[in-house]
Amino acid sequence: MKFRLVAFVLAIVTMVALIAWTAHSSWQHTDELQKKLTKVQLESFGIANHLQQTLLEMNNDVLRFGVYHDINAWAHFGATRTNLDRWIDEQRLTTEKERRILDQINTNYDFYMEAAHQLQDQFRTNAQATLDLVKFDPFEKFEKQSQRILSLGFQLADAHRESMDSFLAGSKRSLNYLRVLSLTSLALLLLASGGLAAVVYRELIAPLRVKLVESQALVERQEKLASLGLLAAGVAHEIRNPLTAIKAWLFIQQKHLQPGTPEWEDADIIASEISRLERIVRDVLVFARPSEPRLVTVAVGDSLREVQTLMAPQLEKA
């Protein structure tokens, strides 16, 4: 029984530790997902902002090259282009919609670079192009591709945010389910703990209380018996002294009686009864100071004849 109780307790302790760990992990993961959701939302807007700033910077480099024929501006345009290519390749896309938008960005980006190189060639060969920049057809094409890429950048940011929102929403639902499951498990665990407490009380504590009450009653009984034994020992000693005197006087009287006479038989019966009283006194002393029981053979016939002699008057009346 004790082994089963110990195993039950260990199982409940293990359940407590597991459920507590699960609850803690679910709360912690929920907080992390909420933080991640906020971070992803910021990153989604950051995609469009980064693409917008980079394109505006490249547009300014093209304009500086066209207006001022600044070679450094075109070199900066090339370096910015390299960084933008790397940034586009580093984007981690998880949905088909995101990949489709990125393909459109790459396609329009090629058109954008083609228009930028056409502008570069026109600026180098045609000085009038700088003066009529707004009405210049390659510039309109360049500006159109730039606006198209910016629009696709915002669409990519929206698609990225939708993808992450969907993923995080599913994760939050799973964690909320796990949280509810943990709370339910904790409630069941409390019920199991209450059942364990009832079993422990019924199987261990209640029997111990009964044994304690029985032990207290036994101690009280032994104390009473000890007191009674002392009293019995005192009474037995007080009775034995007169019996010894009676037996001595009877022995003296028997010397003056003839064997076989009725008086001799009466004296012999009195001596037997005195011996019986002495045996009773010894039994009382043994009760007062109990020893190991010892079985002996007793002659029942003599005892029955003595009882018949003593009870003869009453038997004759009956």
What are the structural domain ranges in the chain?
2-204, 227-310
What's the pLDDT score for residue 309?
A: 81
What's the pLDDT score for residue 63?
A: 80
pLDDT digits (tens, 9 = 90+) for 47-70: 667 877 888 888 888 888 877 778
Any idea of the CA torsion for 52, 55, 56, 59, to the nearest 10 degrees?
-160
Measured CA to CA, the distance from residue 226 to residue 274 in angstroms comes to 28
Percent of all residues in the chain with a pLDDT value above 90, rounded to a whole number: 0
pLDDT band for position 9 (50/70/90)?
A: low
Measured CA to CA, the distance from residue 67 to residue 56 in angstroms comes to 16
Q: At what angle do helices 262-288 and 300-317 cross, to 10 degrees?
A: 110
What's the pLDDT score for residue 131?
A: 44
Structure token pair of residue 292: 């190991």
**pLDDT: which is higher, 84 or 9:** 84
DSSP string, 149-170: HHHHHHHHHHHHHHHHHHHHHH
pLDDT digits (tens, 9 = 90+) for 148-175: 888 888 887 787 778 777 777 777 777 7
What number of residues does the chain have?
Answer: 318
> What's the whole-number mean pLDDT along residues 189-201?
74
> What's the whole-number mean pLDDT along residues 115-135?
65
Rounded mean pLDDT of the chain?
A: 76
**pLDDT: which is higher, 27 or 5:** 27
Dihedral over Cα of 192, 197, 198, 203: its sign: positive
pLDDT at position 24 over 70: no
pLDDT at position 205 over 50: yes
**pLDDT: which is higher, 127 or 102:** 102
What's the pLDDT score for residue 90?
A: 77
pLDDT band for position 19 (50/70/90)?
A: low
pLDDT digits (tens, 9 = 90+) for 275-305: 888 888 887 777 666 666 678 787 778 778 8
Element (H, E) at 201: none
What's the pLDDT score for residue 129?
A: 47
pLDDT at position 40 over 80: no
Element (H, E) at 292: none
CB atoms within 10 A of CB 231: 11
What's the pLDDT score for residue 202?
A: 78
DSSP string, 244-283: HHHHHHHHHHHTTS-TTSHHHHHHHHHHHHHHHHHHHHHH
What's the pLDDT score for residue 135?
A: 52
Find the range with the poorest average confidence among 3-17, 69-83, 127-141: 127-141
pLDDT at position 71 over 80: yes
Angstrom CA distances, 36 to 26, 48, 95, 98, 107, stand at 15, 19, 18, 19, 31
